[in-house]
């Protein structure tokens, strides 16, 4: 004859084995994970002018041959932001060596371009560059016009679609989620980049 204590233990075990298993925690787990992922929405990344300038300094000096005639060296880039127009201004020292002449013309050039984001390259690029000012020491007015045309060709070859800033992969990763840059805002102190989770 079984003791009452053993009967009670057996009944408790049987009840535990036959009780319906709650599937709620199992079903809710993936839903909660999805919800957590959705909480990681767009983020703002500040790029101060000093960081943009440092990136530009690494790209110069540049040496190019234009129209197979003019040797052009560009040095000392200086960036400035134009918040009202969403453009960026770039001032450069320029040395132009014309053909059949031993002495170079030296001066400076101011240009500007429109900023845009290339999500595939994870970069902020400069498009639609234009020469705003070109000053060359010792060049008369006719020569200045000629050099301005040369500078226009130079911009198309060198400056158009030039990266102003390129994100590193680790810059676009947060909480295990990979982001892509989608929008750019310009202010007096730098750029504000909107990044969103990669879909």
For the chain, list the domains and their CATH numbers.
45-166 (3.15.10.40)
In this prediction, residue 136 carries a pLDDT of 82
In this prediction, residue 17 carries a pLDDT of 42
In this prediction, residue 46 carries a pLDDT of 95
* Contact call for residues 115 and 126 (beta carbons, < 8 A): yes
Following CA atoms 191, 113, 79, 120 in sequence, which dihedral angle do they give, to the nearest 10 degrees?
50
- Listed as ranges, residues in the chain with pLDDT below 70 are 1-39, 67-68, 99-101
Following CA atoms 142, 138, 77, 58 in sequence, which dihedral angle do they give, to the nearest 10 degrees?
110
In this prediction, residue 38 carries a pLDDT of 55
In this prediction, residue 29 carries a pLDDT of 46
Q: What is the mean pLDDT of the chain?
A: 79
In this prediction, residue 39 carries a pLDDT of 60
In this prediction, residue 67 carries a pLDDT of 56
In this prediction, residue 84 carries a pLDDT of 87
In this prediction, residue 11 carries a pLDDT of 52
What are the b/e assignments for 32-60, b being 16+ CB within 10 Å? eeeeeeeeeeeeeeebebeebeebbeeee
Report pLDDT digits (tens) over 182-199.
Answer: 999 999 899 999 999 988
In this prediction, residue 103 carries a pLDDT of 72
Task: Return d(Cα 160, Cα 86) in angstroms, integer.
Answer: 16
């Amino acid at each position: 004859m079984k003791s009452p204590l053993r009967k009670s233990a057996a009944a408790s075990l049987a009840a535990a084995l036959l009780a319906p298993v709650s599937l709620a925690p199992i079903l809710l787990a993936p839903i909660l994970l999805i919800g957590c992922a959705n909480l990681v929405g767009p983020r703002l990344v500040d790029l101060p002018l000093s960081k943009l300038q440092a990136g530009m300094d690494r790209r110069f000096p540049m040496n190019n041959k234009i129209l197979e005639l003019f040797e052009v060296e560009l040095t000392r880039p200086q960036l400035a932001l134009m918040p009202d127009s969403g453009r960026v201004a770039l001032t450069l020292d320029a040395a132009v060596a014309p053909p059949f002449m031993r002495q170079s013309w030296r001066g400076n050039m101011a240009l500007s371009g429109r900023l845009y984001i290339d999500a595939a390259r994870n970069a902020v690029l400069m498009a639609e560059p234009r020469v705003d000012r070109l000053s060359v020491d010792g060049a008369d007015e006719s020569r200045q016009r000629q050099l301005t045309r040369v500078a226009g060709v130079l911009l198309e070859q060198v400056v158009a679609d030039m990266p102003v800033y390129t994100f590193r992969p680790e810059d676009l990763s947060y909480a295990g989620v990979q982001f892509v840059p989608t929008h750019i805002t310009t202010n007096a102190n730098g750029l504000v980049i909107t990044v969103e989770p990669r879909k």
